[in-house]
C-alpha cells in the first residue's frame, strides 16, 4: 500500500538526516527502544507502534538507502513472530518559516497473519505509525 504524509519540524534538514546514524538521540524517541548502530547505514531497534490492541513491539532494521540535504530514502523491515512489515520510505525536506517541511511517502507491505487479518485496518495503522515516529524523531533532532 502507498501512504503519504506531511509535517513541519523545527530542525533543519541537516539535523534531520543526521539522526539516521544517531542511536543515542533516537533512543529518546517515543516508540523506539534498544536502538543500536549495526552497520554503516543500518540501525537496529525495537519499534512499538500504537495499535488498537496496544503497542506491538517489532524487531526493526532501518537502512538508509540514500541521504541528501533535501531528501532521504529508508528501507524499514519490522518482524514479530510470523508478522512482518516492510516499508520503503522516501523523505523530502523543504525549508519552511518555522523549520523544515517533511513530506513522506511510503510503500508498505504487510506480511504474515497481519496481511490477512489486518488488511482493512493496516493502512490507517501504518500511516499513523510512520507519521508519529517520524514527527517524534524530528522533535529530538
* Positions in the binding site for other proteins (CB under 8 A): 59, 79-84, 109-113, 115-117, 119
Question: Residue 69 or 81: which CB sits closer to other proteins?
Answer: 81
Least distance (Å) from other proteins to the CB of residue 12?
A: 35
Q: How far is the CB of 33 from other proteins (least distance, A)?
A: 15
CA distance 21 to 41: 7
SS3 of residue 31 by DSSP: coil
Q: Report the nearest approach of other proteins to the CB of residue 109 (Å).
A: 5
Q: Are 91 and 138 in contact (CB under 8 A)?
A: no
Query: Given the complex with other proteins, which of 77 and 136 has the nearer CB atom?
Result: 77
Minimum CB distance to other proteins, residue 103 (Å):
26
CB closer to other proteins, 39 vs 113: 113
DSSP characters over 64-116: EEEEETTEEEEEEEEEETTEEEEEEEEEEEEEETTEEEEEEEEEEEEEEHHHH
For other proteins, the closer of residues 98 and 116 by Cβ is 116
SS3 content of the chain, % helix, strand, coil (to 5): 25, 55, 20
Amino acid at each position: 500500500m502507498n501512504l503519504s504524509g506531511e509535517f513541519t519540524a523545527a530542525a533543519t534538514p541537516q539535523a534531520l538526516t543526521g539522526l539516521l546514524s544517531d542511536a543515542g538521540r533516537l533512543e529518546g524517541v517515543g516508540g523506539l527502544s534498544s536502538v543500536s548502530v549495526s552497520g554503516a547505514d543500518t540501525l537496529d531497534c525495537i519499534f512499538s507502534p500504537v495499535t488498537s490492541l496496544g503497542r506491538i513491539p517489532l524487531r526493526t532494521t532501518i537502512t538508509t538507502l540514500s541521504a541528501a540535504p533535501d531528501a532521504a530514502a529508508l528501507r524499514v523491515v519490522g518482524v514479530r513472530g510470523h508478522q512482518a512489515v516492510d516499508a520503503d520510505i522516501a523523505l523530502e525536506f523543504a525549508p519552511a518559516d518555522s523549520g523544515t517541511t517533511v513530506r513522506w511517502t511510503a510503500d508498505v507491505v504487510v506480511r504474515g497473519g497481519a496481511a490477512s487479518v489486518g488488511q482493512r485496518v493496516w493502512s490507517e495503522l501504518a500511516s499513523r505509525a510512520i507519521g508519529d515516529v517520524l514527527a517524534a524523531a524530528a522533535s529530538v533532532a
